[in-house]
Every structure is written in structure tokens, then in C-alpha cells.
């Protein structure tokens, strides 16, 4: 069995996924020990783990765990909190999870009328300036900043595919750099674009946005 996680580690494990589908594929349930969320320990069970497996039951009993939330729901609570307050602290996420666990509803955030509304634009811009992305997964801006003249035609073919434009349209774009190839891209998508250009000997510029303020900038 995997080791128990602190709340911070549990959030970072979710953030390490590529997207919601990846959360679903990796994890089934989040288990937790008794007590308040900031002090509790968590275990994220694999998606294919059976609750009635004797090994699972023994692990849960040994560590005093009980089902807390489905992993997908756990991620949803984090997503709503992040959308409402992009620079939320760990304590704010703990409160959001505790509220949902008790009331089966998303916590209302001061200044936000509806639970699914987004934070004001200025808050989103402030978070982005600090390298914190919109969602709870790593995101990347990808830019073609330089391209050798000998590679412009090859680059144009790749750009055409990425931007879904004709090669004839992509060619002048590759000569009028810098050229944005994607904004807030998921890690796997950004990595695929970078790999295609690297195969031609063309480097791209990346800016990674982290899920939570206390995390380091993400890498591919």
C-alpha cells in the first residue's frame, strides 16, 4: 500500500495529474483519519482498488482510515475553491473540503454570489502574474520565439497543425516571431508540441503555471 499523505501532499498528488480524466484513472477514493483536515492523514486509493480486498481492509484498519470523498469529488472541491480564490492558502482548501464533507455542498466564498462563479478578473490576473494557473493542474504557455531560416518551412508545417491553419497562413507567422502556440495547455499537450519541434532542432519557450501558490513552477 502507498504511504499516508498530509493534506498538502494529497493536494499535490491531485495536482500532479494531467486533468480530471487522469484523476479518475489514477484514484478511486480518498480516505482520511479522524480529526480536522489540517491535521488528518490521507490515502488515495487506486481506481482499481476494491474496498472489500482483505489487504485494503487491513491497511485501513491499521491506520484508522475511513472513506472521506471520492477522488473525483475531492478534486472538484479543490477546483471550485481555486476558481473562486486563485491564491487560496492550504487552510482555505482545508475549510472547503471540511465544508463539503459535512454538508455535501460547496462552501460559499465571500464576495462570490454563486459557488461556481469565478474570482474577479483582477484576482485571476494577480495569480497569473505570480505563476499560479487557473485550475488545479499544471498548465503551460508555449511560444515559438526563434526559428532558423533553414527551418521555417518545417516549422510552418508543425505550426499549421498546432494552430489548425493552412501551411500558407503559418509560414508568415513563423517569420513574425514570437508566436504563441498555446495558452494554459495541459502538460501532456505541451510536451507533445515541444517534442515535435525538438525533433526538428527547434526550441520553444515555456512558462509553467503551478496549481497552488506554495508549489514550485511545474516542469514537463
Q: What is the CATH number of the domain that holds 150?
A: 3.30.1390.10
Domain end point (choices 75, 103, 131): 103
Which stretches does DSSP call E strand in 64-138?
65-70
The 10 Å CB-count burial string (b at 16+, else e) for 139-152 is: bbbbbbeebeeebb
Span 127-145, average pLDDT? 96
pLDDT in tens, 159-200: 999 999 999 999 999 999 999 999 999 999 999 999 999 999
The 10 Å CB-count burial string (b at 16+, else e) for 72-108 is: bbbbbbbbbbbbbbbebebebbbbbbbbbbeeeebbe
Same domain, 87 and 11: yes
Decide if 124 is inside a domain. Answer: no
Domain end point (choices 81, 103, 125): 103
Same domain, 47 and 94: yes
Rounded Cα distance between 98 and 25, Å, is: 25
Give the HSE-up count for residue 38: Cα atoms under 13 Å, Cβ half-sphere: 6
Same domain, 95 and 165: no
Same domain, 99 and 11: yes
Which stretches does DSSP call E strand in the chain?
27-33, 42-46, 65-70, 139-144, 179-186, 205-209
The x, y and z cell numbers of residue 182, run together, are: 498555446
Rounded Cα distance between 217 and 131, Å, is: 7
Contact 106, 96 (CB under 8 A): yes
Same domain, 99 and 183: no
Decide if 126 is inside a domain. Answer: no
Decide if 120 is inside a domain. Answer: no
pLDDT of res. 62? 92
Decide if 33 is inside a domain. Answer: yes
Whether the pLDDT of residue 5 is over 70: the answer is: yes
- Identify which of 134, 142, 130 has the alpha carbon closest to the alpha carbon of residue 217: 130
Number of domains the chain is built from = 2
Q: Bigger pLDDT: 110 or 71?
A: 71
Decide if 169 is inside a domain. Answer: yes
User: pLDDT averaged over the chain?
Assistant: 93
Structural domain boundaries, residue 82? 7-103
Contact 118, 84 (CB under 8 A): yes
Decide if 216 is inside a domain. Answer: no
pLDDT of res. 66? 94
Decide if 13 is inside a domain. Answer: yes
Decide if 83 is inside a domain. Answer: yes
Amino acid at each position: 500500500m502507498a504511504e499516508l499523505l498530509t493534506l498538502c501532499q494529497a493536494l499535490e498528488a491531485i495536482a500532479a495529474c494531467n486533468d480530471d480524466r487522469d484523476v479518475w484513472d489514477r484514484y478511486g477514493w480518498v480516505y482520511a483519519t479522524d480529526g480536522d483536515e489540517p491535521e488528518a492523514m490521507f490515502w488515495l486509493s487506486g481506481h482499481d482498488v476494491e474496498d472489500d480486498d482483505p489487504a485494503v481492509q487491513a491497511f485501513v484498519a491499521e491506520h484508522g482510515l475511513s472513506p472521506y470523498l471520492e477522488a473525483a469529488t475531492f478534486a472538484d472541491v479543490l477546483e471550485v475553491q481555486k476558481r473562486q480564490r486563485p491564491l487560496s492558502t492550504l487552510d482555505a482548501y482545508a475549510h472547503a473540503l471540511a465544508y463539503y464533507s459535512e454538508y455535501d455542498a460547496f462552501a460559499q466564498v465571500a464576495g462570490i454570489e454563486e459557488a461556481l462563479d469565478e474570482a474577479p478578473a483582477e484576482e485571476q490576473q494577480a495569480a497569473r502574474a505570480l505563476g499560479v494557473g487557473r485550475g488545479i493542474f499544471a498548465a503551460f504557455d508555449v511560444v515559438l520565439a526563434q526559428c532558423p531560416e533553414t527551418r521555417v518551412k518545417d516549422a510552418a508545417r508543425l505550426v499549421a497543425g498546432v494552430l489548425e491553419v493552412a501551411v500558407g497562413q503559418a509560414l508568415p507567422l513563423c517569420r513574425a516571431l514570437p508566436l504563441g502556440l498555446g495558452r494554459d495547455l495541459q502538460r501532456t499537450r505541451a510536451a507533445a508540441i515541444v517534442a515535435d519541434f525538438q525533433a526538428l532542432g527547434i526550441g520553444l519557450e515555456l512558462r509553467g503555471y503551478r496549481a497552488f501558490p506554495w508549489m514550485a513552477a511545474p516542469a514537463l
